[in-house]
Amino acid sequence: MSNSLGPARPESPLRQRGMASPLQDAGHDTADLDFAGTNIAGDLLQMMAEVERSLDPVAISIRIPGEAHGQIKGWRIEAPGVGAIRRPEEIVGASVCTATGNTSAITAFDGAARRVQTISGSIYELGMPDPYYAAHNRRVLKALGF
């Protein structure tokens, strides 16, 4: 059997014995699936990247004019009662938090300039985020211009 993905490969042991796989039992066509030598970790990372790309346009960054009140370093984005947010669409309504305090709720963010505006009207420039937060919330940081 040959397909556009590469050279011919042998039939699966289940198919050679005339047995159906669980996917076939569920009515799925498995003719193009090759389970031999799969790289599950690599496939999962690729799938996660594709899902992230499809979700990224949800958060809308706008230009925020005006002077920033200062730069916030070691920050994370948290929502009251929820904790650290993980999705870009949750940025508006959450707060920028640090070890010393937090801002009022975010009303807008500018990913190109790495700035946020809060409900009180304050504008803050975002410096480097908290390393743990940055490592676990790539999509949020990408929306904020990092």
Same domain, 108 and 136: yes
Phi, psi of 44 (to 5 degrees): -65, -40
Report the Cα–Cα distance between both ends of the chain, in Å, rounded.
Answer: 46
If one counts the domains in the chain, the total is 2
Task: Give yes or no for a contact between 106 and 78, defined as CB atoms under 8 angstroms apart.
Answer: no
Q: Does 53 reside within a domain?
A: yes
Query: Residue 81: which pLDDT band, with cuts at 50, 70 and 90?
Result: confident
Range of the domain at 41: 13-58
Same domain, 18 and 77: no
Average pLDDT over residues 10-32: 56
Distance CA 133, CA 55 (A): 19
Q: What is the pTM of this model?
A: 0.58
Task: Give yes or no for a contact between 61 and 109, defined as CB atoms under 8 angstroms apart.
Answer: yes
Same domain, 54 and 86: no
Average pLDDT over residues 37-61: 68
- What is the rounded average pLDDT for all residues in the chain? 79
Q: Does 90 reside within a domain?
A: yes
97 vs 46: which has the higher pLDDT: 97
Q: Does 3 reside within a domain?
A: no
CA distances from 134 to 29, 74, 75, 117, 131 (A): 40, 10, 9, 20, 5
Query: Residue 43: which pLDDT band, with cuts at 50, 70 and 90?
Result: confident
Consecutive H or E run containing 49: helix 40-55
Distance CA 124, CA 67 (A): 9
Same domain, 111 and 49: no
Q: What is the pLDDT of residue 45?
A: 78
Q: Does 102 reside within a domain?
A: yes
Q: What is the pLDDT of residue 94?
A: 94
Structure tokens at 10: 């042998």
Query: Residue 132: which pLDDT band, with cuts at 50, 70 and 90?
Result: very high
Same domain, 78 and 124: yes
24 vs 88: which has the higher pLDDT: 88
* pLDDT(33) > 70: no
